[in-house]
Structure 1
Amino acid sequence: MRPYQVATAVAFMFVAAVAMTDSRAGALVDTTGTQPGGIGAGFYPFWSAFVVFTCAAVVAYRSWRGPEGAPAFEGREGVYSVLKLVVPMVVATVAIKWFGFYIVSGLYMGLFARWIGRYNWLWVLLLTVGMPAAIYGAFELGFRVSLPKSFLYDLGVLPF
């Protein structure tokens, strides 16, 4: 049993349960027609929290019942693997201010697909362009939620 993994998963389950409780009023499709578009404001938060709760429950169960794994931070390889994740994340977080969410997320996913996942260049290109476009469609066009834009938006070059 890995107590820290189980405790972290239980903490995620608790946060997800609070989010589900808070947004349960709009969790189902509105059949009365009182909400524009047919869904209430709590639909997305409730079901997102439900997915987080379910995944955390699976992680908690597998960590509790599964065999003990090898130590994660042995030697320089462990430190290098952590830095390989943390440094690009910090750079991406800082870069959002100038390059916006969509450009940074595309480059971030492309970098990880190529560097860590070792995907071929076609898949990296599709991921780098396709995911930000899908996120743009979902948030800007669907949910009407504005995410941080790049300097290219201010110049009128890109819609994001």
Structure 2
Amino acid sequence: MSTESGHSAPTAHNEKTVTNRTMDAAVAVLFMALAAVVMSDSWRVGASWASDGPQAGYFPFYVGLIMFIASTVTLVTALVSRHPDLGNFVDRSQLVSVMQVLIPTTVYVGLIFLVGIYLASAVFIAFFMWWLGKYPVAKIIPVAVGVPLALFVMFEIWFLVPLPKGPLETALGY
């Protein structure tokens, strides 16, 4: 589709969302924050050399420091480059696809804290099978119930590894 000026009209596929430069800077800042947390906690537990060798936080502190320096270089490069990469980081259609997975997954993680991992997993599996997979309910229910049940047996009974429980598991005595 062309406009009177001869340029193509933007479509959902080629609409601008965010530039590569912006994403480089944003990810660099996030990694700098993560590195600062690693360094801070490593310093708290001891990040120097003791008489018997390195303290518990020695190596994590320096890994965090390297991460922080590398992220700072990336941030400075993104901000002061003479030829910044202003290309589109992601098309709208690609962003929609990512959000279709990211948002429900974020809700799933939140549900784990409210109802436990097994019920949250059943809801998560059922939702994705229904919404994106378009499966019939007769296929959704056995999978959505069977997978968390199999994981429960494997982790809680066989391996004796407790996973986050919610009110349902607590009411059932687990």
TM-score norm. by structure 1 comes to: 0.50
* Bigger Rg over Cα: 2
Greater percentage in helix: 1
